[in-house]
Amino acid sequence: MFDIAKKKAFVCDLDGTLFMGGQPIKGAVDFVIESTKSERFSFFYLTNNTSKTPEEYMTKISGAAIPVKPEQILTPLITLEAYIREKGYKSVYLLASEKVVSHMEKRLADVGVSFEFDPEKNELIALAYDKELTYAKLADATSLWNMRNVPPSPMCPVRTENKEPIDFVATHPDNCCPSERGPIPDVGGMLKFLEITNGMKPTHVFGKPSPSLLKTVLDRFAPEEIAVVGDRLYTDKAIADNAGVDFVCVLSGETTKEDLEKYTGTAPAIVVDTFDMVDAK
């Protein structure tokens, strides 16, 4: 039974939950603004999209008049940063847009991580939603894998002096990104492209539905104090389930009442037309 009196933190999906096609969903956004100002709840904003920097999401959220601080933005770039720190990597080949690479350089400036392609030094290949992806970048990523992770053979003749296997991670699993032009390729599609080329597979895929994205929230609040709010069952509900927290399903985005009737998994903790309705029940 969903009890709002027990909740202290809401982790909100953005598209379909607080925004629709770039426009704020008024009732939902007003509820977040009022509850932020009265300090009734803490809010966190969840996105798998690593084509944008957290600063760009802050601009989008504050553009809807919601007061927001950097630590409230949860993107897999945070998980990637934590992973690089934990592993102690100093040389990462990051496939990402220029602004995302420079964001990561700044974030990791204190430990001095290089994000250049360097077959002798690279310890990790990291794939983000790179909207500046080129054939040269894909060929560099696969050649790193060939040089370091594939035994020499006539098919794979090139080796580096560096004999250490190279690690490979991806920021999130989404196959496609919804757009005005319909579904367009996202990281999941890029992963399939790489895998079919030479069998390279990531050791970790961050982002929804991996609960690693909720770590900072779970560090601060008990699971029963947290709810994830979203419009997609296979990403938003999945991350809530994987983290052991309640899921508030909103009908303002992708999921319809008919989808919920057909859904065979456990029911969401509560279903509402728009996020603000969570307070009326």
Q: Which residues bind Mg ion (CB under 5 A)?
A: 13, 15-16, 231, 253
Residue closer to Mg ion by CB (options 42, 255) is: 255
Contacts 24+ apart (CB under 8 A), 270-276: 270/2, 270/246, 272/248, 274/25, 274/27, 274/28, 274/250, 275/12, 275/17, 275/18, 275/25, 275/27, 275/28, 275/31, 275/32, 275/229, 275/248, 275/250, 276/27, 276/28, 276/30, 276/31
**CB 7, CB 226: distance < 8 Å:** yes
Looking at residue 217, its amino acid is: V
Residue closer to Mg ion by CB (options 16, 54) is: 16
Q: Which helix (H) or strand (E) holds 250?
A: strand 246-250
Structure tokens at 9: 């933190």
Min dist. Cβ of residue 212 to Mg ion (A): 19
Please identify the residue of the shown chain whose CB is closest to the bound Mg ion. 16
Min dist. Cβ of residue 83 to Mg ion (A): 24
Residue closer to Mg ion by CB (options 15, 246) is: 15
Q: Which backbone phi and psi does 60 adopt, to 5 degrees?
A: -65, -45
Residue closer to Mg ion by CB (options 153, 179) is: 179
Min dist. Cβ of residue 105 to Mg ion (A): 29
Min dist. Cβ of residue 111 to Mg ion (A): 33
Looking at residue 227, its amino acid is: A
Residue closer to Mg ion by CB (options 21, 112) is: 21
Min dist. Cβ of residue 133 to Mg ion (A): 23
Min dist. Cβ of residue 208 to Mg ion (A): 9
Residue closer to Mg ion by CB (options 48, 146) is: 48
Residue closer to Mg ion by CB (options 137, 232) is: 232
Min dist. Cβ of residue 250 to Mg ion (A): 9
Beta strands in 81-138 (DSSP E): 92-95, 124-127
**CB 39, CB 33: distance < 8 Å:** no
